Amino acid sequence: MKNKKSDKSFFNSLFYNDKFLAVLCVVVAVLLWATVKINYSADTVRVLNDLKVTVGETAEELDFTAFVDNDDLFVDVEVTGKAYNINAHALTKDDIIVEASSTFIDSAGYKVVSLTARVAETAASDFEITKITPSTITVYYDRKVTDTFNVVARVGNDLSKVVKEGYTVGKAVPSMNTVEVTGPATILSGLENVYFDATIDEKNLPLTSSVELPAQISYPVGRSNDSKFLVCNSVNSETNPATVTLPVFTTKTVPVTVKFINMPEGMTAPEYQITPSEVEIIYNPKDEQKYAELSVGAVDFKKLDNKVNTFTVDIDSEKLAVRLTDKELTSFTVSVDMSDYTKTSVSYSAANVIFLNKQENMVYSLGTDGSLDTITVIGPKKNVQKITSDDISVEINVSALNMSSSNSQMLPANVTVGNTKIKNCWVYGDYKAYVTVMTEAEAEAVTDS
């Protein structure tokens, strides 16, 4: 009985204690407030930003791929619910799935597709999805193909102002001649070239040597947005970057020269005049020592008569090692005065005729059509007078003759002054000989008859 009385006295003392009652009231008030707040407070709104859209597949028989600008793949989703259900700790982007339906896609091209959003299976569902911004996205549907295209290099600067005085620029060269591009079939069908676009930093000007510039890829397609769906498979920023090389050249004036071919052994090249005698060339500055002169062609001694010989040498820009500043210049005139030399006619000895590249067991002979009866030789008078038929050599390449086609043919003959003791003399003109070929048996039969 004593214990019960003491317990009752303890509780009585608590409830008659003002401090205890004050604390108790505060605790009860907080509990009541929390209960009302949780169960009867108004819903709140939260917006989740940059949720990625999942684009659905098209009908299998269409074989279409959905092409979407990456910036259009992200939307904002508004949700409504109790604050404790939709705060940052309770609700994340992974709890909401945004989808673009492609159920009714039946042709290639741009399509405006509606968006829907739903709660992921793993998320709590005590909230409502009330709004998607934007509510639609634009998708390009088409077959995905890959094709190869030529590359054109472009430099964005004014090229007339990027080099130092006395220098000039050449044609910009891309680091790749062709590239592979993947994208929608319809868009790729309208693409002709791919461009590598580069710009020279103004602080590096003026240029005095060639430069390699990093380049951006651009695609000249019908609409600018179309290019966002194209991917260049050939370019890798680390292992195979797109670059543009801008060649820089300088100019100088050099004498024009020609060389002489088929010149007699030991003879020095004759003097000549060439018009124009000088030209301004465009060349790479690092090749300064290489271009002390410009050789534009060859003069064949077989074409030099004992007179003033005049030739026109046409400019072959593909064979010239440099470019000319005068783009209107198409040829040079060469004059060679050989009028101090003497010309004579001689015959040749059959013993000095050599057939090159003969077939085994075949017999070759010259016809009597008269094509080699007279050989014209030019040289110093005292030397020409010494030439006899034994001094003339005739070489004929008979590899074109064979028994399976024709056993007789007119072939070029290389006629020279074979006697090396007779100096500074050359054979003038071109010669041909009628050559007959037969087997050894056929030759014996002809001899017997």
The residue from 142, 159, 189 where one domain ends is: 142
Separation between Cα atoms, residue 429 and residue 173, nearest integer Å: 46
What's 83's DSSP letter?
H
Q: DSSP for 399-434, please give it.
A: TT-BTTTBSEEEEEEEEEE--TTSTT-EEES-EEEE
SS3 for 231? strand
- Pair 361, 441 in one domain: yes
- Altogether, the residues listed in the chain come to a count of 449
Separation between Cα atoms, residue 36 and residue 57, nearest integer Å: 48
- Pair 286, 361 in one domain: no
Q: What's the token pair of residue 173?
A: 């060269």
Side chain identity at residue 201, one-letter code:
D
The residue from 114, 142, 170 where one domain ends is: 142
Residue 180 pairs with which residues in a beta bridge? 148
What's 445's DSSP letter?
H
Phi then psi dihedrals of residue 291, to 5 deg: -115, 70
- Pair 299, 260 in one domain: yes
- Pair 308, 295 in one domain: yes
Q: Match 């791929």 to its residue by tokens.
A: 65
Domain with residue 314: its CATH number is 2.170.120.40
Separation between Cα atoms, residue 183 and residue 255, nearest integer Å: 55
Asked whether the beta carbons of 401 and 407 are under 8 A apart, the reply is: yes
Q: What's the alpha-carbon Rg for the chain, to the nearest Å? A: 47
pLDDT at 172: 94
pLDDT at 386: 93
The residue from 340, 356, 376 where one domain ends is: 340
> Comparing C-alpha atoms, which of 2, 22, 106 is closest to residue 63?
106
Separation between Cα atoms, residue 9 and residue 13, nearest integer Å: 6
User: Is this structure's pTM higher than 0.75?
Assistant: no
- Pair 414, 356 in one domain: yes
pLDDT at 367: 78
Q: What's the token pair of residue 204?
A: 């590096």
- Pair 357, 409 in one domain: yes
Range(s) of the domain holding residue 409: 343-448
Separation between Cα atoms, residue 328 and residue 165, nearest integer Å: 23
- Pair 200, 259 in one domain: no
SS3 for 386? coil
- Pair 350, 384 in one domain: yes
Q: Determine which helix (DSSP H) or strand (DSSP E) holds 309, and give its type and residue range.
A: strand 308-314
- Pair 176, 242 in one domain: yes
Per-residue pLDDT of the chain (449 residues; tens, 9 = 90+): 445 555 556 556 655 666 666 666 766 666 766 665 555 556 889 999 999 998 877 766 678 888 988 878 899 999 998 888 888 888 888 899 999 877 778 888 888 888 999 898 877 778 888 999 999 988 889 999 999 999 999 999 999 899 988 888 889 999 999 999 999 999 999 899 999 999 999 999 999 889 999 999 999 887 778 888 999 989 988 889 999 999 999 988 999 999 999 999 889 999 999 999 999 998 888 888 888 899 998 999 999 999 999 999 998 877 887 889 898 999 999 999 999 999 999 999 888 999 999 988 888 988 776 668 889 999 999 999 999 999 999 999 998 786 654 578 889 999 999 988 999 999 999 999 888 888 888 878 777 66
- Pair 352, 441 in one domain: yes
CB contact set of 312 (below 8 Å; sequence gap of 6+): 331, 332, 333, 334
Domain with residue 440: its CATH number is 2.170.120.30
The total of structural domains in the chain comes to: 5
- Pair 127, 160 in one domain: no
- Pair 31, 58 in one domain: no
- CA 32, 33, 34, 35 torsion: positive or negative? positive
Phi then psi dihedrals of residue 189, to 5 deg: -65, -20
Sheet with 136-142: list strands edge to edge: 65-67, 136-142, 109-119, 96-100, 44-55, 74-81, 127-133
> Counting Cβ atoms within 10 Å, is residue 161 exposed (0-12), middle (13-18) or buried (19+)?
exposed
Q: 3-state SS string over 285-304?
A: HHHHHHCCCEEEEEEEHHHC
What's 371's DSSP letter?
T
